[in-house]
Amino acid sequence: MKRTLPSLIKALEKHRSTGKPLKAIVGFDAYIDSIQKIVNNNEDSQNHYFETISDLATQLAALSGKNTKVNLRQLEMIMNGNAPILANSLGALGVKNICIATMGYPDISGVFEEMHPNCELVSIASPAKTTILEFNDGKIIFSEESTFEQLTWSYVAAVAGVENLSRGIYESSLLAFVNWANIKYCTDIWKGFLEDIVVNLSPEATRQSPKYFSRNKIQEEEDAFGMRHKNFFFDLSDISKRTKEEILEILDVVGCYAQYGKVSLAMNESEAKYIYGLKQDNPDATLPDILKNIISTYHIQQIFVHAHEEALMIYKNHVYEVKGKSSFQKRISTGGRDNFNAGACLGLMLDLLPEQILALAVGNYEAYLGTGASLELSELIDYLKDWEKERHHEVLV
């Protein structure tokens, strides 16, 4: 880290002042979270809430066999979902993006209209809904995700338009597809993008310069990014709820994208071990060894892992590790993974060095969880400067 942070800060400052505009596509989930508390009684004309889950469980158990009404009070409604949080963070970092997700159809729900103006919202269905009951000792989360069951490639292509998607992909330097595990037919969607758009846009398919589609004719555009130096970023999320056959199939699909650009796969430590265990049986394998095995087995160029106290990245069989600020303190507990991914995606689009990309991902992750908001690029640069000052001070001490 001695030279990584100073060089990263310098690269980001140069990009902020002179860099070309960056574009990305993100998909496909979106949720609306309703955060609520359960009313215990209304003494003194004020609502008194259940403080703990065990208190609620005790009272509900006593009501078994009876009819009863439970009063709820909504505290707030917020947007959620891996795709919109990732897109929002990318937007704050200066990346114009198209977020294709379940944000309300035909009209987009109001909570998503607060996303960063760099996000172009393409909604394909109603949002999934989550009711979060808050207590002092934890949360009870009820999730209604039936809206995802209609999401197939043919459905997404019909609602969003293949021509529009093709142009968006052509002009973007990165595609980020997330939350595969919770979308029933997500494998079909990822295969559809690959087979019906990415393959057809590649120079090898047209035997000439890359093109994009328009409504009237196929056009060329000098300023468009095309299929040159494309980044494909994937995050499967909680794969434990899927079968072995489904996981192996999607990993094969992800590997096929490598013919047309650089493929990155993001995961946490438990997910890495789970994937490794699908074909290997070595409980003593270290995390770096596990990642190297996944790289060689599934033909993925690089993997990002956010472990308990550090982040790792493996690229060309070399493992990079970064630990964040020693003074880091969490303010919120959700959304960190997507902001980590956003930092990694920005680093990939800027073609930074692996250790710079990883430090950028960690910095954006910590800055988000520490402030409760996705930072603008200038704010993130300031955070990285504070991190470098702290690191330098620790070295001197």
Tell me the pLDDT tens digit for each residue of 142-199.
Answer: 999 999 999 999 999 999 999 999 999 999 999 999 999 999 999 999 999 999 999 9
The whole-chain average pLDDT of the chain stands at 89
Q: How large a percentage of the chain has pLDDT more than 70?
A: 90
Question: What pLDDT is stored for residue 42 in this prediction?
Answer: 66
175 CB-contact burial (10 Å; exposed 0-12 / middle 13-18 / buried 19+): buried
Res. 56: pLDDT tops 60: yes
Question: What pLDDT is stored for residue 211 in this prediction?
Answer: 46
78 CB-contact burial (10 Å; exposed 0-12 / middle 13-18 / buried 19+): middle
Question: What pLDDT is stored for residue 140 in this prediction?
Answer: 92
At 329, the pLDDT band (50, 70, 90 cuts) reads confident
Alpha carbon distance 290, 95 (integer Å): 32
Domain range list for the chain: 4-34+80-396
Q: How large a percentage of the chain has pLDDT more than 90?
A: 73
Cβ–Cβ under 8 Å, residues 370 and 331: yes
Longest dimension (CA), the chain: 77
pLDDT digits (tens, 9 = 90+) for 203-255: 665 444 444 443 333 344 444 445 556 999 999 999 998 999 999 999 999 99
Question: What pLDDT is stored for residue 220 in this prediction?
Answer: 43
pLDDT digits (tens, 9 = 90+) for 90-127: 999 999 999 999 999 999 999 999 999 999 999 999 99
Question: What pLDDT is stored for residue 281 in this prediction?
Answer: 87
Alpha carbon distance 259, 249 (integer Å): 17
Torsion from C-alpha of 56, 59, 60, 65, nearest 10 degrees:
180
Fold of 4-34+80-396: UDP-N-acetylmuramoyl-L-alanine:D-glutamate ligase (3.40.1190)
SS (H, E, C) the chain: CCCHHHHHHHHHHHHHHHCCCEEEEEEECCEEEEEEEEEEECHHHCCEECCCHHHHHHHHHHCCCCCCCCCEEEEEEEEECHHHHHHHHHHHCCEEEEEEECCCCCCCCHHHHHCCCCEEEEECCCCEEEEEEEECCEEEEEEECHHHHHCCHHHHHHHHCHHHHHHHHHHCCEEEEECHHHCCCHHHHHHHHHHHHHHHHCHHHHCCCCCEECCCCEECCCCCCCCCCCEEEEECCCHHHCCHHHHHHHHHHHHHHHHCCEEEEEEEHHHHHHHHHCCCCCCCCCHHHHHHHHHHHHCCCEEEEECCCCEEEEECCEEEEECCCCCCCCCCCCCHHHHHHHHHHHHHHCCCCHHHHHHHHHHHHHHHHHHCCCCCHHHHHHHHHHHHHHHHHHHHC
More confident call, 397 vs 113: 113
At 364, the pLDDT band (50, 70, 90 cuts) reads very high
Alpha carbon distance 139, 123 (integer Å): 29
Question: What pLDDT is stored for residue 228 in this prediction?
Answer: 55
Question: What pLDDT is stored for residue 276 in this prediction?
Answer: 95
